[in-house]
Structure 1
Amino acid sequence: METENAAAAERVLKTHDSSDVLSPVSKLMQILQKPHRILAFALCYTLTCFVCLSLYYDGTYKADTSHQVAVRLTNPSPAPPATPRPPGEVHRNVSREILQLQDTAEELQRQVERQTAERPHPKKIDWREVVKRDMFKEKKKLLSSNDYRHFANNKSLSYHCKRCAIVSSSGQLLGRGAGPEIDSNECVIRMNDAPTRGFEHDVGTKTSVRVIGHRNLGRVFANQNDLQDRMFSNRSTEKVFVHWSYLTDIDADKVEEYALVLKLMEKYPKVDFVMFTPQKMKFAEKLFHHETELTRRQARTWLSTGWYTMLLAMDVCDEINVYGMVSEDYCKEHPNEKVPYHYYDPSSKPECTYYHTSEVRLTSGHLFITEKAVFARWSSIYNIHFHYPYWEPRPYSVSDTLRTPFLLRYHIANNRLFAKYPFWKLYFHFAGIFYPLVH
């Protein structure tokens, strides 16, 4: 009887233990019986793996072989067995070898010190002066003939201002009452078709220079007689500088906007029409490459009118006051602001929304935030000040690299993984997965 009771108790215990062990398995089987859960789990797991690989794996490890020495192995003949030496002699030999090694190390150290002393010490480099010398021309009242030329006679331009105002087209200027301050500058520079009529209190009345992209010239001013009269009649604009956006080789016979400029010259003879030369266009792209370490073609962008306006101001002006331009971090610090992109078009999309859309797109468009980060750098070299809103650029050093949203996304997208599997690069780009990773 006792044997039967023990066997029964053992069977009950085994049954209880097996139920405890199998309960998680049974739960897992119940979950796996629903196919949509399996598919969702597999998809999430796959995406997570690809994201982790793209972020943390960028090629294989390569050892530094520059100092490796090839050693040829031989099979030496077996040496005769060594005869045992007295302990005292062994100790003396070891001590002698140690002293020889110390002498060798000291001699090597003296040679290194001698070579270091003979080598000339590098001079301390002022990186601001280097950038001035290498990337910007020295300011002169007579600009280089390779920079700007008149449309009328192809002669170089002579133009100089002590204090300049660059007036952006941003809605940041609305309600600021900055008009009188803007007009107090010797030269006032505006962009594209930004008007003054009706906005005099906020943007002023004077227009010394208007910088226009050739695409905007054809799209906005062609066949718009009323707009042309407002902008160019009665010397409301003294000079018009035309930049060629993404063109560095300008063929007057093939560029339609060139013919439009000639017509405007006949219609408004008092306005001086000036072009950015091909050399200046190439120089502008070289500056972009210098600052971002990407060519314009690699970034798949074309430089904004603001970029060329800033270059012109640095060539012409001794002091530059920029009105209505926000800093690179402004939209990050004011995510809910709804200021319109253009002060003269209240229905235009919010400024920060447009900046974000353009900045995180890897295929085309302007890089407004990246350009503003570059302008902040230039302000530490040139006499550039920002107003409405007022902001001071943070100090930069030569070792600093730009870390704008576009540049971060670009370097992630050009990871080796996506170079090997371009389909995934397209997928992640259009799915918008990059954005939360870099913000």
Structure 2
Amino acid sequence: MPFETRVANGSVSVRHAVVVSADGDRRFRWVTSLEGLRWQVEAASGGAEAMASMEQHIPEALIVDNWLPDLEVDGFIAWVRQAFPSVDILRADGAPVGDGPRSPRRHELLHVLRAAEEDMVETPAPAAVVPEREPAAPVPVIVPSELPVDAALLPGMIGNSSGMRELARMVRLVAPRDTTVLIEGETGTGKEVVSRAIHRLSPRSQKPFVTLNCAAIPEALLEAELFGHTRGAFTGAVQSRTGRIEAANGGTLFLDEIGEMPLPLQAKMLRFLENGELQRVGDNETVRVDVRVIAATHRDLERLSQERTFRLDLYHRLAVFPVVIPALRERAEDIPLLATHILNKLGETMPQKRLSQAALETFQGYDWPGNVRELGHVLERAAILAEDRPEIGMTEVILRRKRA
């Protein structure tokens, strides 16, 4: 029977399976056995990579290991169960997950799992073989106890609106790759949160995540901060220093407010993005580094390039994969979830609070010019003003302005 392959549109790709494991040997055994039984197989080393695969083609079955390097297994399974309720999910030990659907070829899947485990027992890997990734505590999918399981789309990203779901889909697609990402959105929408989600769901998650706000450092010092400098390179350089780019070697560099980078430095940044080499200030030697770059801005870089205040070639190099974060006013339905999440976090250091219905309705009718950051500040101030009272009412809510 030929494989049925199609873009995900609600129906299942027959004899198509996704297998997820950080253990390369186990993945290889699963894939080889399934392909021998005429299955089409997509292999993933982590949850984010598997999510991206399933966004393209809904499989008939999913096999998931008991540990993932980037997501809690239970949180990952909960996401799959809700997003793709038709998929038969099995754990590495062959145990089915809940009362979900069963593939008509479940016996083949169980045979593959048993055979793979028997093979691994009979032919253990040599002691000298180094695993693909050192075991580490998995990154949790943040799901506060009072939120529905799908409220936390990805680590740190809260919301059920269509805009946030689309954003989460884009993050899942790009995270496993080294593609340069440009995050666009208004101030306070959570651009660093999204950048951290991309890093934490990527193969670089165990390597450094280094941030630099291009608007927070004086222009005269920004080049040295990015690229590093040698001793005596300029007045005050009493010793050599590694720059942020080099510090991120092997990991991710997050450049916030990239639109504020001065033009002369943009040319040097473009050269680095093109060849992966940097030159410290005051040094004639070049250094090659392996860094994934994520940039963010609240400004229209394309318009700035037309005004010749931002290089068009750098804009195109950064915007290989642009993602846009919706403003809070465009996703008012997420405010109850966000407010609950923020109050839960505040409740770790002060008495737990909840919002009154009147306060919640006011929040949903407000324009939130400062977006999620402003929501957090308003709730923290209100929680303090409420003192020992468990509920935050209108008396404690102070907003800058109301929507006309």
Give the TM-score range, shorter chain. under 0.3
Q: Could you say which structure has the larger radius of gyration?
A: 1
Of structures 1 and 2, the one with the larger relative CO (CA 8 A, separation 6+) is 1
TM-score normalised over the length of structure 1: 0.26
